[in-house]
Amino acid sequence: MAGPLTPFIHFINPLNWHWKDVIYGADVHKSMAIHCIKDQSFESNIYLVTGDRPVLIDTGTGRMIGPIMSRLRELVDISTLDRIVLTHRHYDHVGGARDLSDRLEAKVFMHEADSEPVRNGDDQGTLANEFLDSVEPLDVIDVREGEVISTGEHDLRVIHTPGHTIGSICLFDDSNRALISGDTLFVGSVGRWDLPTGDIRLLKSSLLRLKDLGAESLYPGHGPFVEDGAKHQIEIGLRYLGV
C-alpha cells in the first residue's frame, strides 16, 4: 500500500511536460479564471493513478496523443493500462478517448448521464463543434454513484457531482483522501454551469457533498493541483457560488 506521500497520481498536462514546472511553476492567478471551453488551446489535465491495474483519468482533446503515449510508457507498463475513466462529456476531456483507447486497448468508463453523447459521437453534446472539431462514436461503459474503480493499490469511489454537466463525476480515494474533481472544482474556482445540462443549483449541492468527504488533496480537470487544503478549496468554490 502506498503511503500518502507517494506520488501515486501522476499529473499529465499536455501543455506542460515538465513535472517540476507543473508543481513549482504553476501560475496560480491564471488558474483562478473560470474554465473557458472556447479557448482553442484548452486541454484537460490527465491523471494516471498507479497500481497493478493503473487507471487513466480523462484524455485531453486528442491533439497530443504522441507525447501522452510517450509519457505513459515512461510511467507504467502500458500493457496493464486497460481502463480510462472520463469525468464528463466535454471534448477537452473526451476528445482523445477514442484514439487512446484504441492504442491501449482500454475500456472507457463514464457516468450514465453523460455517456450518450460520447457513445453517439455527438459533436454538439460533447461541444466538439465549439472546438471546430468532431468526435467519433465510442463504446463506453456506464458507471454510477458509489461504484469503486480499483487499481489494486487505490480504490477510486465514483461520486456523481452534477452541475458542470448532468453526468459529471469526481473520484475519491478514501484511504489517501485524494479527490479528482474534473471540471466540478478547480483550485480557486469552480466549473462553468452555463453550458448545456449545467445547473448552478446542482453544482452547489455537489460541492456541499464534496465538503463532507474529508478530502485533503485536490486534482482538478484544469490548472494546478494541491496536495493539502482541498476542503479550503471547496469552501472557496462554495463562496464563489454565493453559498
Size of the site for Zn ion (CB under 5 A): 5
Other C-beta atoms lying within 10 Å of the C-beta of residue 144: 11
Edge-first strand order for the sheet with 141-143 is 9-12, 46-49, 55-57, 83-85, 107-111, 141-143
Pick the closer one to Zn ion by CB: 50 or 197: 197
Q: Which residues contact 16 (CB under 8 A, 6 or more apart)?
A: 22
Mark 135-174 with x for binding to Zn ion (rule: CB under 5 A) and - for no binding: ----------------------------------------
Pick the closer one to Zn ion by CB: 114 or 183: 183
Q: Report 208-227 residues binding Zn ion (CB under 5 A).
A: 221
Region binding Zn ion by CB under 5 A among candidate stretches 1-9, 79-87, 178-186, 234-242: 178-186
Pick the closer one to Zn ion by CB: 90 or 98: 90
Mark 10-49 with x for binding to Zn ion (rule: CB under 5 A) and - for no binding: ----------------------------------x-----
Task: List b or e across 43-78, with b for residues whose CB sees 16 or more CB atoms inside 10 angstroms.
Answer: bbbbbbbbbebbbbbbbbbbebbeebeebbeeebeb
Pick the closer one to Zn ion by CB: 33 or 148: 33
CB of 185 to Zn ion, least distance (A): 12
Q: Give the separation between CA 62 and CA 118, rounded to whole angstroms.
A: 14
CB of 216 to Zn ion, least distance (A): 23
Pick the closer one to Zn ion by CB: 109 or 154: 109
Enter the C-alpha cell of residue 121.
Answer: 459521437
Task: Give the three-state DSSP class for 141.
Answer: strand
135: nearest Cα among 144, 145, 127, 146: 127
Q: Give the separation between CA 240 and CA 232, rounded to whole angstroms.
A: 12
Handedness of CA 12, 189, 84, 154 (dihedral sign): positive
Identified binder of Zn ion from the candidate list 183, 207, 231, 238, rule CB under 5 A? 183
Contact 94, 126 (CB under 8 A): yes
Pick the closer one to Zn ion by CB: 44 or 217: 44
CB of 126 to Zn ion, least distance (A): 10
Q: Report 48-107 residues binding Zn ion (CB under 5 A).
A: 90, 92
CB of 82 to Zn ion, least distance (A): 24
Pick the closer one to Zn ion by CB: 7 or 196: 196
195: nearest Cα among 47, 42, 38: 38
Contact positions vs Zn ion (CB under 5 A): 44, 90, 92, 183, 221
